Structure 1
Amino acid sequence: MVSDPASSEDSPSLQNVLDALDDANCRAILRETAEPMTANELIDACDIPKSTLYRKLELLSRASLVREQDTINPGGGRTTRYERDFDDVTISMDDEDDLSVAVKRPPRSPDERLEDIWSKMGDEL
């Protein structure tokens, strides 16, 4: 629903990052997602309605600041957790007075990269 693991390596647009960071609910979600959390956990922790949470997760995903992780449950179905997907965001201005954004991401293990690929494949089925 929220993120495209293949695009999480791409640089997000400056406007998408600014829009997400300017939103108080998005900032609350980012504070809570240092460790993976489910939507229900985020609803409780951030004290925001479910519909608002999903809109904010979409905004954070477009900015490539949150990543979605799906886990297959032994009894069937899957659990989706959301995790902050950056170590640092830098906004800078170049010599031509153009703003740009750089997002530094945590290193991913091969298992995490494979998990991203499987998660993306599951979304396409």
Structure 2
Amino acid sequence: MGYINPLLRLPAAQQLLRLPPEQRRAIAAVLRELREASNAEAELSWRRRKGPMAAYWRAVSTYARHFAHALTQHCECPHESSSVADSPSATDTGTAANQQARDFAFPSHTRDTRTMDMFEKTK
């Protein structure tokens, strides 16, 4: 996936990224199985002309894929040894902790600052 994964902005996603690599890989494997099963459900619902259920299952599949990709993409991340939770600024709620979390989740070479600025203005 060649884009910034918007799910990584969620606090729960940040917590998942702080897990040890072996746990992230196990969760990613389960999410990929969920993706396969939900894709099959979407196709079945579509054949039965159940559009809303097909859309639901397709969304489940998409979210499962995005989370699985995020978990495995960060398994070999060089920032892995120094997680945001271990840093002294992670306990304060100021912008330094937010910036450090964003830098971990969105490396500068892939960050779209227009979206990030818009996100900050809505807080």
**TM-score after normalising by structure 1:** 0.30
If you compute each CA radius of gyration, which structure gives the higher value, 1 or 2? 2
Which has the larger strand fraction? 1
